[in-house]
Structure formats: structure tokens, C-alpha cells
Amino acid sequence: MLTDPVAAIDCGTNTIRLLVGALPDVAVRESRIVRLGQGVDATGRLADEALTRTFAALDDYVATIREHGATRVRLCATSAVRDAANGEVFVRGVEERLGVAPDILTGEQEAGLAFDGAVRNLTAPAPEPVLVVDIGGGSTELVLGSRGRVDAAHSMDIGSVRLHERHLAGDPPTPDEVAACVADIDAHLDAAPVPVGEAGTVVGVAGSNLTVAAGVLGLSSYDRSAIDQARLPVAEVTAYVDRLVALSVGERRALPFMNPGRADVIGAGALILARVLARTGVTTIVASESDILDGIAWSLV
């Protein structure tokens, strides 16, 4: 059953994304890399130029929302805004443009919405429990549960932008830099209360996971329909991550499916995926184009 048009905006550390539609139909799905979390890990503040990029994208999104007649709108912000001392500047800017205040999600809220969006989209039988892995720019959410029920969720303060800025200065990164990044990831996984080893199915969502999926599939361009619901052997994913991390930013940018704005940070995001998979017992991972953005949209219905 179709609903009236709703508009969902997911403002993360690296990207800002828009979904407009009368669910389950989707009329618009857009994504722009704005790097809102630029430098937040080091400075604790949102940079002026990052806010400018984000608000420019939001202005365009507002025009699209009005064009499609969506009257229910929800913008959710995540790790970068949660962690920034000047987050109120972002809040005021959103209110001025959108007419509603943004929801600054807790890590647990972020995890729950990501799980809902991903699990709704599963089209093939999926042994339970399902582990949804949402690797963002500033944080990574691990959510274990079954359809309609979350059993355990945790948001780790590691993401592709944050770990890249923290550890991977080399181009390509040195073995010591990669080892330090992996040690940081493993320490966070050791402390995470989600028993990832119990997962019967692992679903990977968001840019880092889907970019790795495009690489494993050998796509000649980024193809949403080819990636969504693809089941990828874990051994092939792990091998591809090793190759990807060893590339320079220029070599990554030359990959036909790579978003140029993700080329520098994809190595850190890919390492998070590999380290999570190493702790599971699954032999395949499901790539899902539906994620927290879809969960935000369905929360309006």
C-alpha cells in the first residue's frame, strides 16, 4: 500500500543522502559526498568549509522535496554532529533551510534504523540472527537481530574518515600504518557487546561496504541493481580488501565504480569490514542498498 510522499535525509560524516517517495515506491534517491566530519576527530569541531558544502547540498535537497510534494520530512544526523562541540551551528542551519530541527541520533538509534532499513529489503531466505554492519565515516554500527526485533546493537567510534585521518597518512599507507589501523579496529571490536560470531547472515550497508562489493563483482561502473542483494564469498571480499588498501588514492580513483570523494578513505572502511567478517562464521555476505536512509523514511509512515 502506497503512502503519501515522505522525505528522509541521512546526514553522515562523509555523505548526505536524500530519499523521497510514496513508500514502498521511491521517486528520488540521491547521495553527495560533503565530508561534514572533516577534521572532527582531531579538532572536535565542524569545519566552516564542511558546513558550507553540507548546506549547499541541503539547499538542493529542499528544492527536490518541494518539487515532489513531500510534507513529512525527517533529517537525521549521526556521528560527526554528535561529536562536535559546535553542533548547534549545524542545527540552526538545518532549521533555517528545512523548517524542522534535525534529529541527532544516538548510536543505538542509528543502529536500529539501519537494521530496519536493511532487513526490510532482504529478498532471499536469510538464516537468523542477522548481523547488519553499517560502516559510516565516523562510526560503525553492529546490529544483531531477527525481523522485527533487535537483540543487540552497538555503535563503535570508528569509521572510514575517522580512521583514515587517525592512521593512514601514507599514499598508499605503509604496513605499520595499516597495522595500527587494524589494531584500533580490533580493540573496538573486543569491547563491542554484540556477539558477531552468532550471526547466521551478515548484511553490509552503506558506502564502504557497497564499494567493496562493486570491486568484488568487477563492475565497469557503479550499478545499484547489480550490487543490491548480491551474495559475496567472504574469502573474495577479504582478498579484495587487501588489494584495495595497497592501492594509492590515484589508483583507487581510477577504478570505474569508485566515487572520487571516497577514494582516500575507502581503505579504512574496507579494513573495518574485513575485521568484522574475520569474527563471524559466515561464508558469504549480503550487500544491501537499503540502509538507515530507508529506515528513516519508514519511520515517517
- Mean residue pLDDT of the chain comes to 94
| 150 is a domain residue | yes
- Are 74 and 160 in the same domain? no
**pLDDT of res. 301:** 87
- Are 213 and 249 in the same domain? yes
**pLDDT of res. 5:** 94
In this structure, which amino acid lies at residue 198? E
pLDDT grade for 83, boundaries at 50, 70 and 90: confident
**Block residue for cell numbers 569474527:** 279
- Are 204 and 120 in the same domain? yes
- Are 53 and 95 in the same domain? yes
Peptide bond before residue 172 is cis, with ω within 30 degrees of 0: yes
**pLDDT of res. 2:** 60
CATH of the domain at 51: 3.30.420.40
Greater confidence, 59 or 114? 59
Question: At a CB cut-off of 8 Å and minimum separation 6, what does 143 contact?
Answer: 111, 112, 114, 115, 131, 132, 134, 150, 152, 153, 194
Domain around 245:
108-293
**pLDDT of res. 158:** 94
Query: Given a cut of 60, is residue 122 above it in pLDDT?
Result: yes
Of 59-63, 124-128, 229-233, 270-274, least confident by mean pLDDT is: 124-128
- Are 255 and 146 in the same domain? yes
Q: How far is CA 277 from each of CA 186, 203, 283, 286, rounded to the nearest angstrom? A: 12, 11, 9, 12
Task: Give how many domains the chain has, as a whole number.
Answer: 2
- Are 60 and 17 in the same domain? yes
Long-range CB pairs of 147-155, under 8 A, 24+ apart, other chains included:
147/119, 150/111, 150/112, 150/115, 152/193, 152/194, 152/195, 153/108, 153/111, 153/112, 153/115, 153/194, 154/107, 154/108, 154/111, 154/192, 154/193, 154/194, 155/79, 155/106, 155/107, 155/108, 155/110, 155/111
Cα(122)–Cα(7) distance, rounded to whole angstroms? Answer: 22
Query: What share of the chain has pLDDT > 70, as a percent?
Result: 99
CATH of the domain at 167: 3.30.420.150
In this structure, which amino acid lies at residue 4? D
Which residue from 139, 132, 70 is spatially nearest to 104, judged by alpha carbons?
A: 139
* Mean pLDDT across 148-161: 90
Of 25-39, 53-67, 174-188, least confident by mean pLDDT is: 25-39
**pLDDT of res. 56:** 97
Residues 131-154 have pLDDT tens digits of 999 998 888 999 999 877 899 999
Among residues 70, 104, 138, the one where a domain terminates is: 104
Among residues 52, 75, 104, the one where a domain terminates is: 104
pLDDT grade for 61, boundaries at 50, 70 and 90: very high
Residues 200-241 have pLDDT tens digits of 999 999 989 999 999 999 999 999 999 999 999 999 999 999
Among residues 104, 132, 153, the one where a domain terminates is: 104
**Block residue for cell numbers 565516523:** 138
| 300 is a domain residue | no
**pLDDT of res. 90:** 94
* Mean pLDDT across 125-135: 94
| 40 is a domain residue | yes
